Chain A
Amino acid sequence: MWSYEKRLQYPVNITTPNAKLAEVIISQYGGPDGEMGASMRYLSQRYGVPYPEIAAVLTDIGTEELAHLEMVAAIVHQLTKNLSMEEIENSGFKAYYVDHTIGIWPQAAGGIPFNACEFQSKGDLITDLFEDMAAEQKARTTYDNILRMIKDPEVCDPIRFLRQREIVHFQRFGEALRLLQEKLDSKNFYICNPEFDSNCGCNCK
């Protein structure tokens, strides 16, 4: 189960509103490669996993992604909370404003609402770990794209932190895959699904 700590993992203190940045950064809240997808993906994938160390990786990284989700929301909130009506009307943010004012709602920058099609939980550990490594790279690329657009160090700072976390998480999912490979038959890793087939893995249930 989960506890909440009334603190952001990394500080967000943005003093200058910016509608254009808010419009793109919201993609890391509810977009296809964003933190909501990341946390739901990893936390959902845990349930059939027969190896506790791999379930631990999914749990701990999935939990950290919830903290990142909170940071992204804080960034968008601080970028928009002091926008004037003219700034809103003269930016691409006006479409979002009409439906949500300056509330936080999970969508991609292009407007597609967050949905479970943006992640997979395939129920096959090899497949799910590759999904997770790909997800971390997609998130990193999204942050790279955002960083090219930012000149304000108050915004750069937390975004750079979030991007670096994706690289570390990629490494951990890669290591989880190595742990799994050790438990499977290296002559044929695909002979069975360790989450479903009873004749699978060295230490299967």
Chain B
Amino acid sequence: MNQNMTEKRRMLMDINVLDFTTTELREYLDTHPNDTDAISYFHRYNNMLHQVTKEYTAKFGPIRQDMPGNCMDEWKWATSPMPWEGGAC
């Protein structure tokens, strides 16, 4: 159980960090649209983010509306706790 919590926390931190990095790069690129280095950094981190989010969703339930997961017996998007009540936070 503890192992699971640690893994969940670790994956969530990775998602937080990767999403934050892509957000910062996106806002930088909006005013520097020709910085090709920044564009490749963006794609690298965005691909990693997508991958970790898929893995997190499969193990712990959905956090994105466009990645509901494969669970067929429960609509976890609705039944999992909100992020300020012990959910993805």
Q: Which of A11, A12, A57 contacts B31 (CB under 8 A)? A: A57
Interface range, B side = 20 to 34
Residue pair A175, B31 in contact (C-beta under 8 Å)? yes
**In the complex the two chains form, is A8's CB within 8 Å of B27's CB?**
no
Cβ B63 vs Cβ A5 within 8 A: yes
CB–CB A7/B89 < 8 A: yes
- B23-53 residues with Cβ-Cβ distance < 8 A to A are 23-24, 26-28, 30-33
Give the total number of A-B pairs whose CB atoms are below 8 A apart: 73
Interface majority SS (helix, strand, loop, mixed), chain B: helix
Residues of B within 8 A of A61 (CB): 27
**In the complex, what's the smallest C-beta–C-beta distance from B76 to chain A, in angstroms?**
10
Q: Give the distance to chain A from B18, nearest Cβ to Cβ, in Å.
A: 12
Q: Does B71 contact A (CB under 8 A)?
A: no
| A residues adjacent to B (C-beta < 8 A) | 3-13, 53, 56-57, 60-61, 64, 73-74, 77-78, 168-169, 172, 175-176, 178-179
- A-B pairs with lowest CB-CB distance, top 7: A74-B84, A175-B31, A7-B88, A56-B30, A6-B63, A57-B30, A8-B83
